Structure 1
Amino acid sequence: MTLTTKARAALLGAALLLSSAAFAAPPATVRLDYLHTGNALNEQYAMDRVVIEPLPWAGKLSRNLDDTDRGVNRVEVVDAKTGDLLYSRGFSTIFGEWRSTEEAQKTSRGFQESVRFPKPDRPVKVRILKRDERNAFSVVWSVEVDTDAQDVVRKQEPAPAKPIPIRVSGPSPDKVDLLILGDGYNKADMAKFEATARRLADYLFSVSPFKERARDFNVWGLAVPTQESGVSRPSTGVHHASPLGTRYDIFGSERYVLALDNRALRDIAQHAPYEFIEILVNNDTYGGGGIYGQFSTAAANSDWANYLFVHEFGHHFAGLADEYYTSPVAYQSTGERVEPWEPNATALRDPAKLKWKHLVNAATPLPTPWPKAEYEAHSREYQKTRAALRKAIRPESEMSALFKEDLAYTSKLFSAAPHKHEVGAFEGANYEATGYYRPAQQCLMFDRSEKFCAVCSEAVSATIDLYSRDSR
């Protein structure tokens, strides 16, 4: 059913009113914008500004402290006098990914970042922590913040576009609020954006465990019109201006899509309730990306948009690692095999202490055999064909057909494997052929299949619990 503009506005107003009424005087939302600069060897932080966002805090105040232990970084908000911990969340950054590239070995760069938290009633210290090779966090930057200070930004320009209520299940503090942003949609594309956002949201909630927890989500849509349709793809000479600056070819990877203008992103997103963001780009070319606790992106017009939307959201929402390892990536391997913080990858130092051991059948061997050699032989030829198609700038339909052939081959190969339905430790994950292991032979984070494995599903469910009041 298509809502009229008036009906949408009424639903949005009712939802926000309901959110405010559910908790007497919910706190305001504070955003600390800062700069994160450096190179492969060092990094620095500098405060940019403190902003009071237009909407009240959308989160669940009873779960202000993050117990999921995910992310390369963690933000902590502590009482400036007592040191009491008031708020924490794990996250990762674009800078953290960039510093593992070849470019970071040669030069320094700066990236905009933000952390958001409910407005405290006292001065606080905001601390950024970083995880070391032993998976322990230590403080790398700390800044005192008085959210009542004169230089805090309290008044901003009106919303550049109105949020669209796509799925409203209840007050924001009780729900996970997902904001779907559009980039590369001109004025004539607005109806297309709304229809696509609704379709992809519906698909997300057809995939377990999102399916079973659909009532724990609110979903909003928001798109600021662009002059041209589509976002930039520099490798093909396409450059388009857009509010979010989303583009392909991030770090030299033709399929990697990110938005690098964090301030612009946050200034637009702040006009809708959100804890998580997925950006739809109005492009046909396969591509996407996801940064834990920041945002994810997906090519909305690709034949694989459903998969891209869910896979990339898995990175952003639950901190899931990529389980594939045969596709080229921009990151430089150090050769070290430290235990990943991601819930679905392991270095398997001690099988007896496997992080998902509780899901493993006692009879399943660790490591777990799978047709690895056959898979890799096929994948080498597949990747050659894929690279040739991109180099020749062949129609996207040919790339899509290749992806379908690859998935059909993999599914047939795996169907005869003895441990095809088991949770174990299958070597090959985290962009590495050896030394890292994934929980299942096949999963949505490994290939373009349609299901999360049990370990990924458990990680997704834990994140839903952190942000919602379970309504199952």
Structure 2
Amino acid sequence: MTIRKTGVKIIFVLTIFLSYLSVQAQQFNDYFTEQTLRLDYIFGGNKAQQHAYLADLVQLNRWDGRKGNLSTTPIQGNGQIKVYDAATDKLIYVLPFSSLFQEWLTQEESNQTTKSFENSYLIPYPKAKAKVQVSFFDAQRKETILLTHLIDPQDILIRKATTNDIPYETIHKATTANPIKIAIVAEGYKDTEMNEFMEYARKTVHSLFQHKVFKKHENAFEIVAVKSPSKDSNVSVPSKNIWRSTAVQSNFDTFYAERYLTTSHTKLLHTLLENIPYQHIIILSNTDVYGGGGILNSYALTTTKNEQFEPVVVHEFGHSFAGLADEYFYAVDVFENKAIEKIEPWEKNNTSLVDFQSKWADMVAKSTPIPTPDSMLGTVKIGAFEGLKGNGLYIPSHDCRMKANTPKDFCPVCSRALEEMILFYTGK
């Protein structure tokens, strides 16, 4: 009798679960095709006033992003792309992001001049007319809509993806139905140096899966190595008056910070990938100089020949994939690493203690004082340690991939945030 009842319960739960999956699949198919719409924007302005302009629309042949959790996001980001069905005004897709432009707005230069930056974002291709909103969040987490524009999927001026002959190789296969697709892109590697790039691409995969949360979900990732050739070896170093012709035109000295390696040419980057399966991007640059950068839903970029390559590439991916914040701070930094009074930052791994319950309070032992004194370093696994004297931000641990290169893994707080993002993307 008990067995029969249990069987009925199992069948009932299974029916509900299958119905849930059906609704999720139906929702995607109701509003989107199995293609991608790339949105190319120009963000411009200064500290006082910001603008977003639509530069181009590109239709890619396939959709490699999520098919569930379409109208939600587990993180706010510094901005968001929101897609609405034009006929019903129903929200049908959300993409959080950060951008170099918003980082530049924290610089003194933004008080004195006006600049613009390229930005490219991927959304599923709409079946019917859609409304797209581009919004920024300020330091107080107030949202401002910078741009609203309509998309007609039948518009003849939406450019079709070009056919390029850039080869790529699958270096890690997924077994899940809706995997997270990552493209590892060669930067500063000539055609004759691609074997060396492939070696570092494989090291990237190996390093990623040395971290427990990624190892646990190893089958959820599909990773390709893109053999994008550069005319010159190495990358540009403006402070030494070295400018090289490379695949995605990256350079050190971003915002005059010596180690900050980025590319502002996102349209060029995405054009290289138009016929390649991807949603997330890791760029490997051919230099032994220490440095890199990671920007949420844009790219992670790091150098390959430096001895710290393997921990750094995973650290930068933590930024670009899950919006994790740095847990190290300097008195003078590229960004404003300072708490805003009465505001809780949106990143999952730092806190101003304004709303600590929304962060990792549930992971801290009841006997651990908050804030946690540095004298307890090594004796408690998770607390709320001061990031930098006087900056008002607190971090979970000093033993974490987002803190330093020496720890072997992410702390439990960052691991939980990463797992939440993995499950979000895979629709679980």
Which bin holds the TM-score, normalised by the shorter protein? 0.7 to 0.9
Counterpart of 1:31 in structure 2: which amino acid? R
Counterpart of 2:87 in structure 1: which amino acid? K
Offset from partner CA, 1:254-297 (integer Å, 9 cap, x none): 11111110110110122211111010000000001000111010
Pair 463,354 (structure 1): closer, same or farther in 2 beyond 3 Å: closer
Are residue 268 (structure 1) and residue 285 (structure 2) matched? no
Query: Is the contact between residue 161 and residue 274 of structure 2 (CA under 8 Å) also seen in structure 1?
Result: no
Offset from partner CA, 1:125-163 (integer Å, 9 cap, x none): 11112224453544332111112112110252x224112
Pair 198,469 (structure 1): closer, same or farther in 2 beyond 3 Å: farther
Counterpart of 2:284 in structure 1: which amino acid? L
Counterpart of 2:381 in structure 1: which amino acid? E
Are residue 42 (structure 1) and residue 1 (structure 2) matched? no
Query: Is the contact between residue 52 and residue 134 of structure 2 (CA under 8 Å) also seen in structure 1?
Result: no
CA distance in 2 between partners of 1:281 and 1:467 (Å): 27
Among 239, 242, 258, the residue aligned to 1:254: 258
Among 332, 337, 345, the residue aligned to 2:350: 345
Once the two structures are TM-superposed, the CA of residue 450 in structure 1 deviates from its matched residue by 2.1
Please report the TM-score for the alignment, with normalisation by the length of structure 1.
0.80
Pair 334,197 (structure 1): closer, same or farther in 2 beyond 3 Å: closer
Offset from partner CA, 1:439-470 (integer Å, 9 cap, x none): 11321111222211111001100111111256
Query: Partner residue of 2:403?
Result: 446
SS at match of 2:268: helix
Once the two structures are TM-superposed, the CA of residue 222 in structure 1 deviates from its matched residue by 0.5
CA distance in 2 between partners of 1:192 and 1:178 (Å): 19
Are residue 85 (structure 1) and residue 91 (structure 2) matched? yes
Identity %: 30
Pair 368,275 (structure 1): closer, same or farther in 2 beyond 3 Å: same
Are residue 436 (structure 1) and residue 387 (structure 2) matched? no
Query: Is the contact between residue 177 and residue 275 of structure 1 (CA under 8 Å) also seen in structure 2?
Result: yes
Query: Partner residue of 2:371?
Result: 367
Once the two structures are TM-superposed, the CA of residue 340 in structure 1 deviates from its matched residue by 1.0
Offset from partner CA, 1:304-363 (integer Å, 9 cap, x none): 001110111101011000111137422356773432111001111255x35111111111
SS at match of 2:267: helix
Query: Partner residue of 1:294?
Result: 298
Residues 18-417 of structure 1: pairs in structure 2 closer than 5 A: 27-53=34-60, 55-156=61-162, 158-170=163-175, 174-326=178-330, 328-332=332-336, 336-337=340-341, 338-351=343-356, 353=357, 355-371=359-375, 417=376
The alignment covers a number of residue pairs equal to: 397
Among 395, 419, 424, the residue aligned to 1:461: 419
CA distance in 2 between partners of 1:245 and 1:109 (Å): 18
Pair 228,262 (structure 1): closer, same or farther in 2 beyond 3 Å: same
Once the two structures are TM-superposed, the CA of residue 421 in structure 1 deviates from its matched residue by 3.8
Please report the TM-score for the alignment, with normalisation by the length of structure 2.
0.88
CA distance in 2 between partners of 1:434 and 1:112 (Å): 31
CA distance in 2 between partners of 1:136 and 1:69 (Å): 15
Pair 284,327 (structure 1): closer, same or farther in 2 beyond 3 Å: farther
CA distance in 2 between partners of 1:122 and 1:26 (Å): 10
Counterpart of 2:170 in structure 1: which amino acid? P
CA distance in 1 between partners of 2:227 and 2:110 (Å): 33
Mind listing any 5+ residue stretches in structure 1 that lack a counterpart? Answer: 1-22, 372-416
SS at match of 2:160: coil
SS at match of 1:461: helix
Query: Is the contact between residue 348 and residue 354 of structure 1 (CA under 8 Å) also seen in structure 2?
Result: no
Counterpart of 1:30 in structure 2: which amino acid? L
CA distance in 2 between partners of 1:103 and 1:212 (Å): 44
Pair 364,332 (structure 1): closer, same or farther in 2 beyond 3 Å: closer
Query: Partner residue of 2:20?
Result: none
* Cα RMSD after superposing both structures: 2.1
CA distance in 1 between partners of 2:333 and 2:311 (Å): 19
Query: Is the contact between residue 344 and residue 438 of structure 1 (CA under 8 Å) also seen in structure 2?
Result: yes
Query: Is the contact between residue 50 and residue 147 of structure 1 (CA under 8 Å) also seen in structure 2?
Result: no
Offset from partner CA, 1:172-218 (integer Å, 9 cap, x none): x6111111011000011111111110111111111121111111100
Pair 199,230 (structure 1): closer, same or farther in 2 beyond 3 Å: same
